[in-house]
Amino acid sequence: MTAGRATNVPAAEHGTAFAFRDARVDDLAEIVAIYNATIPGRGVTADLEPVSVESRLAWFDAHDATRRPLWIASTGGRIVGWLSFSDFYGRPAYGASVEVSIYLSETVRRQGLGRTFLERAIAVAPGLGVKTLLGFIFGHNEASLRLFEGLGFGRWGNLPCVASLDGVERDLVIVGLRVDAGPDGTTRRIA
């Protein structure tokens, strides 16, 4: 899943075969549709209204398979999820830190796809020059917190009541994981 290589991997829990590859601009409409489908649930994103494909072009263009990849997963010829590495805070000193975002179609949740995506992100991070992986997760999104914490991410911060979703104030939890390449080239989780 780097430099344009596609792979097929079954999700461990359910045996569903997903194909993974780097996203292309012609995937953007499906990427945005998956994102927009999460907005009404108020558990994943702080956007309150759907976003347009046009509004996400600059975000898409900020991704690069060799530094800040954007991966898609598909099954049956349909894109069902995506993972992005995005710059953290946009200042040069933070260049080895990234925000990891995962969005899945409702039809494939709880099938191991999020875990597969995150395991791959951890594995390739050192090769991309990434030492710190960060997730920004609503405190009430217990499934995502379990996913990240189950793969070694720690709770590094809690921002209480920073989001208002339909008049309900919600916390934002910052989770993080430090990684590096071990002497044998494998990824080590160091914090």
- Can you give the pTM of this predicted structure? 0.89
Say what the pLDDT of residue 148 is. 97
pLDDT along the chain (191 residues), means of 10: 50 70 98 95 92 96 96 95 95 96 92 95 96 97 96 97 95 97 82 63
SS (H, E, C) the chain: CCCCCCEEEECCCCCCEEEEEECCHHHHHHHHHHHHHHHHHCCCCCCCCCCCCHHHHHHHHCCECCCECEEEEEECCEEEEEEEEEECCCCHHHCCEEEEEEEECHHHCCCCHHHHHHHHHHHHHHHHCCCEEEEEEECCCHHHHHHHHHCCCEEEEEEEEEEEECCEEEEEEEEEEEEEECCCCCEEECC
pLDDT of residue 8: 53
